[in-house]
Structure 1
Amino acid sequence: MTKRKELFKTVKQKNLLKLDLQHFGDKTLYELKQNMTTVGQQLQKTEDALASAAIDTGKSTEDIQALQKSRDDLKMRFDVIKNQHDQLEEEQRAKFAKQDNLQAIDDPTEQKVKAKAELIRATMRQKPISGDVKAALGDEGTTNGDKFLPKTVSSDILTEPYVKNQLRGVSDFTQITNLEIPKLNFSLDDDDFIADKETAKELKATGDVVTFGRHKFKVFAGISETVLNGTHTNLVSHVDRALSSGVAAKEKKVAFAATPKVGEEHMSFYSTQNAIKKVAGENMYKAIKNAIADLHEDYRETAKIVMRFQDYSDMIEVLANNNSTLYTAQPEQVLGKPVIFSDSAVNPVVGSFMYSHFNYDLGMLFDRDKDVKTGIEQFVITAWMDHQIKLKSAFRIAEVTATP
């Protein structure tokens, strides 16, 4: 009868243990740690009691056996909880390791966003940029994450920039070190194939190859502590928007500078160094029409007009003469060529903008700075860029004749 009771008790304990195991399987790692602590304390207390009972002559054999059985039961429970804890901890560690591994992210966009975020944080914390980050950004780990500012910097972002360079849609953009390209896309063995005499003279005077230089500039992206420690997406969106806006502002500034900086004269459509031909008219409409007509047909075919919206509005007001039809017409219908509005174009630039070319050097530096007045950290990029007008004869500047 005693053996039956003990057997029944053993089976009952095992069933209770199974129920406990099922219960533990649903617990979190934190709960398992708490359970380990609780059972561990009970086990230690029982072992201390057993040690004391063993040397206490007043304790019977049955008392000691009961304590031994209680200890064994608690030890078994502790081991079960510990195994559950260790297994769950290993699973979570593997999960986090997979999340931290850029190569394990299947979505290319998500991978690139995380890589950019890690590059920004590493720079701000003055830590080295890992090879995985460089590879994810497209430079195969051979440089310093230079492709963080790619040639598509104003379109390869998550949010719209604050400032745009309207030439982004019409000029050529590349990112090649020591770039040299021919001014014309093709040539013949007979030099007389160039029908435009101005182009022929220009090639004879300046050569038929364009060599791009390296002109340094910096872009600052202010980052608050909350943004830096926020999500990858918010951090990258914020920095991309700031950098693309800074780059766009720089591109427009050099391309339309009325008084360019020393060394940047060749970048501006308006510089005396480029001396792009000016074509006049008694009003804005006639000046632009005359400029289009003055282009050689090779350039006129693909010509576009870059001008200020205010100038266009004033021109329409004069042309309309209280006729509302012109106000609803598309600019291309009015002027005969696509119109691009930019407030930087103080005088309309007319021409084939495929001969306007921006190139970024691959070498790029990342740094951090701090605005002591505001406490905002600055993510700083130092880049090198050049703008070359490959053929000046492909452009005209439209000017209104001064009224006597």
Structure 2
Amino acid sequence: MAKLKLTSAFCRDVTCPPHKRKEVYRCTEVIGFGLEVRASGKTYWLYYTKPDGKAAQVKIGGSSDIPFDVAKRTAKELRSKVVLGGNPAEDKAIRKGTITFKELAQMHIEHAKGHIRSHGCVEMSYRKYLVPEFGRLRIDEVMPHAIETHFAKLRARLAPASVDRLRLVMNRGYRLAKGWGLPGSDRNPVEAVARPKYDNKRTCLLSPEQVKRLLGECGKSENTMLKPIVQFALATAARKREILDARFEHVNFDRAEWLIPHTKNGHPRTVPLSEAAMAVVKALPRKEGCEWMFTNPSTGKHYITIKRAWKTATEAAGLPGMHTHDLRHAAIGAMVSNNVSLHVAGKIAGHLRPESTARYAAVADSTLAAAVEAGARNLNLMGKAA
């Protein structure tokens, strides 16, 4: 090993002595900066002492790939980390073992398949919106500002709640990575991304006339199951997926009850069926060997979606922009407006938290107001003749 001031010209012209396998030249200007010369090529290194007192070295790069000035500047930066107690070689090893965001996405998707029913949403979030933007980066290279910028672009074409769902999926991925002890997962960049403020709570109320128009258009649909699906939704306040996955075996005809074994919150629930709901069930066509209540005639299986038929019917009924989930809101609102308590309505709907049903408090308040007005009129409190 020789010590001298390394220069660009020296590093360009020096060759490996013919009687040696290699020669190392250490710079006297930048402590630890060195050039290793072999017959096969030249490599810049930083030689240093680790915090535990042991010697270490970290490769900066080949002289044919990195200009001398860049190598020298990099050596200074690495040296400053050493002075502050860092270990560049260990850091490099960690970076080398750090997976890409695309690899983390695949691990998260596989985990979701075994733990949540809505794993399709996780897969779609990564495939359409997250991996195309961050997939090639290591997980420790994804920065909060880059996430903020990407989400800002997506808000131009997605609803705020949809963008926030992407934030939640991404955050969950990093939390899993940390729980698994993956290299590079000690920092979660999503935690520094501000959650947008938005209100996507809907309390859609339908008048009897609107229901009549909607059912009339549903009855005209090419999808012959659309009308009974909508009727059943309005009669039970169930979620769309719960209805489309409904099976005859879960209906107790004697007690007029419907068991929903798989719900969004993971808790099975039993829904009492009104006369209207039972009428819908009894009128459904039943084919031997078919377990589904609302069977798609073209496939013989349950429906995956009714989006196209629903859009056509709602627009024809003068209710454009109405969501299928609004049927659930309308059913809950109808119960509350007919003096059903928020607690009971929430239990029928399968709400685990009172806050989920609290949005219908305004409906309950208007019902109470109408009740006291009716009582006052009955008592002739205004002094008018009966």
TM-score (normalizing by structure 2): 0.24
Q: Which of the pair is proportionally richer in strand?
A: 1
Q: Which has the larger radius of gyration?
A: 1
RCO comparison, higher one (Cα < 8 Å, 6+) = 1
